[in-house]
Amino acid sequence: MAVAVRLSAVSKKFGGFTANSNISLSIEKGRIHAIVGENGAGKSTLTKIIYGMHLPTSGVLFIEDKARRFTSPREAIRAGIGMVHQHFMLVPELSVTENIILGHERSHLFAPLPLKKAKATIKQDAESYGLAVDPDALVTTLSVGEQQRVEILKLLFRQVSIMIFDEPTAVLTPSESEQLFETLRSLRNQGKTIILITHKLDEVLSVADTISVMRKGEIVGTVAASSVTKQELAWMMVGRTILMSVANPEATPGKTVLSLKNLGYQTRQGEIKLQHLTLQVRAGEIYGIAGVEGNGQNELLQILWGLTAKEAIICGEATLNGTSIIGKKTAQRVLTGISLVPENRLRHAVITDYTVSENLLFGRHRERSFHHWFGFSSAVISNYAETMIADFDIRCGAPATQQLSTLSGGNQQKVVLAREFNRPAISLLILAQPTRGVDIGAIEAIHKKIIAARQRGLAILLLSSELDEIVALSTRIGCIFKGSIVHEFCQQEVSLKKESEHEFLKEIGLHIT
């Protein structure tokens, strides 16, 4: 079969750091070729070389058997290469059509835009690839999934033949992901070449034809998707066999810690986000909330952490160890024993320009034990940081000087977890997507820590879009749909049904859609 993209001994160095070393790879035309690897393995650099954002330090890039040297994405686009970035490149105030033709207007300066003609092409593309989206809608009004479709339509409009997708499902709900895979398959069937960057192995196995695994800047192997298992892929990625699910001894729950009764949440626009949500979390258990994103999980977290919008109407009861928490400020909640690991780590849980030590302190800086006169006691903090770094195996240099932004995603998350797991007088731990964007090796370590925290007698509320994570960790599972818990699996059910994981996942899936 013809080769669409070929890399021959390509290396890329940044200063003394080698991001890609001696990579040789052939990507066949009309296939879905996945590139997997842990965070920092060099996947992004590789795609940026193909897309013209980086020039390789050495080696040659061939596009359809012609040696190319792109100095900008513009040249790559002209050569028929398109990319859907993880963070969409759309102008929110413009309509779908305007966004799609942007940079590709094909009309004279000051002449009116050929919107009608463009709209017709877009409609045709949308129909033939199942990319339903209203061409007149403003991009701001679209959901994340729809925005991604606009990005794909943009590539189709430019008639690219090679499409690069960078972590396309990171922002999607499971059903949107399924839809995306359908689109990818139909794109491939129409002869497009697809390069898929991801670290989700299940997805890769279900959608890709060929899989290349990267580790530490090198390609460690390229295999056909049909001839490899998840475990084998994982082993190639980390270079060792890892437990796909950690040992999870039976829990012995104690008294109720968090009790939510008939919780309701209505936005100012009158949209109901939560209704009659009732659940209890007991000491020494993990209560997993399974559900598709956007079914009220965010609002639930807002209520629990005291960050609800001013105009929102909240009803019902929320008590922690018998006292109501509604109306309390975030700083007060911490004192009552709640700890939260928010979903969006970089935006909400850390200050990326602060050092590792300063981040280990963030949100806990009001604790007296760290204080010294008007500032902080550097001795106490360096002691504390040393302990946390050893306990959570955080890989970093000197914590007092290394900036958090220089750590890998997994290590950043470990910093957050170390801080939140060890708050004094903690009784409830809320974990939202605790392993999102974290590589496999770190996931295992984090799961172990979560189980250990449960063993310590903490009540844990776990929200995750990864169903297998929910099943692997939870003592009880609540299925959330349209703002209420529509079904709850008790402890016996969970431990019984876990035996046949696949069936259980399917059953949960029925309750959350």
Partner 1 sequence: MNNPTTMNRTTLRFFVTFLSLLTAGGICALLIALAGRNPLIIFQKMFSATLGSSYGMGQLIFKMTTLLLVGLAVAIPFRLRLFNIGGEGQLLLGAFTAAMTGTILPESIPPIAAILLCTLAAMVAGACWALLAGVLKVQCGVNEVIGTIMLNFIAQAITGYLLTYHFAIPSTVHTSPIVKAAAIPTLYKVTGWFTNSPANLSTLLAISMALLCWFLLFHSRFGYEMRAAGLQPDAAQYGGINAKSHSLSAMGLGGAAAGLGAANIILGYKHYFEAGATGGIGFTGITVALLAGAHPLWLIPSALFFGFTEYGGLTVNALIPKEIFMIIQALAIILVISFSALEKRFH
- To partner 1, the closest distance from the beta carbon of 16 in angstroms equals 7
- To partner 1, the closest distance from the beta carbon of 164 in angstroms equals 23
How many helices and strands in the chain, by DSSP H and E?
17, 22
Q: Establish if 351 lies at the interface with partner 1 (CB under 8 A).
A: yes
Cβ(401)–Cβ(432) below 8 Å: no
- To partner 1, the closest distance from the beta carbon of 343 in angstroms equals 11
- To partner 1, the closest distance from the beta carbon of 398 in angstroms equals 10
H-helix segments, 72-114? 73-78, 96-101
Choice from 358, 420, 439, 444 touching partner 1 (CB under 8 A): 358
Choice from 139, 211, 349, 479 touching partner 1 (CB under 8 A): 349
- To partner 1, the closest distance from the beta carbon of 401 in angstroms equals 6
Report 400-459 residues binding partner 1 (CB under 8 A): 401-403, 405-406
* Residue number, 404 or 512, with CB nearest to partner 1: 404
Choice from 86, 175, 229, 330 touching partner 1 (CB under 8 A): 330
* Residue number, 305 or 489, with CB nearest to partner 1: 305
- To partner 1, the closest distance from the beta carbon of 366 in angstroms equals 7
Q: Establish if 72 lies at the interface with partner 1 (CB under 8 A).
A: no
Start-to-end C-alpha separation, the chain: 41
The token duo for 305 is: 């952490």
- Backbone CA torsion sign across 72, 77, 82, 87: positive
DSSP state, residue 348: I
Q: Establish if 376 lies at the interface with partner 1 (CB under 8 A).
A: yes
DSSP state, residue 235: H
**Which listed range, 4-12, 13-21, 172-180, 436-444, lies at the site for partner 1 (CB under 8 A)?**
13-21
Rounded Cα distance between 248 and 238, Å, is 23
CA angle in degrees (0–180, nearest 5) for 435-174-477: 65
Choice from 296, 342, 399, 441 touching partner 1 (CB under 8 A): 342
| Chain-centre distance for alpha carbon 352 | 18
Rounded Cα distance between 369 and 468, Å, is 39
- Backbone CA torsion sign across 211, 213, 214, 220: negative
- To partner 1, the closest distance from the beta carbon of 192 in angstroms equals 34
- To partner 1, the closest distance from the beta carbon of 365 in angstroms equals 6
Residue with tokens 């009552």: 336
Q: How many residues does the chain have?
A: 513
Rounded Cα distance between 392 and 419, Å, is 10
Rounded Cα distance between 400 and 381, Å, is 9
* Residue number, 81 or 318, with CB nearest to partner 1: 318
Rounded Cα distance between 171 and 154, Å, is 19
**Which listed range, 61-69, 169-177, 201-209, 357-365, lies at the site for partner 1 (CB under 8 A)?**
357-365
Q: Establish if 350 lies at the interface with partner 1 (CB under 8 A).
A: yes
Cβ(381)–Cβ(359) below 8 Å: no
- To partner 1, the closest distance from the beta carbon of 350 in angstroms equals 7
Residues contacting partner 1: total by CB under 8 A: 37
Which contacts qualify for 503-509: CB closer than 8 Å, 24 or more apart? 504/471, 505/467, 505/468, 505/471, 508/290, 508/467, 508/470, 508/471, 508/477, 508/479, 509/467
Report 29-68 residues binding partner 1 (CB under 8 A): none
* Contact string (CB under 8 A) for partner 1, positions 285-324, x = contact: --------------------x-x-----------------
Q: Establish if 394 lies at the interface with partner 1 (CB under 8 A).
A: no
Cβ(172)–Cβ(145) below 8 Å: yes
Choice from 331, 380, 390, 490 touching partner 1 (CB under 8 A): 331
Strand-pair category, 375-376 with 371-372: antiparallel
- To partner 1, the closest distance from the beta carbon of 165 in angstroms equals 26
- In the complex, the residues that contact partner 1 under the rule CB under 8 A are 14-17, 305, 307, 329-331, 333-334, 340, 342, 347-355, 358, 361-363, 365-366, 371, 374-376, 401-403, 405-406
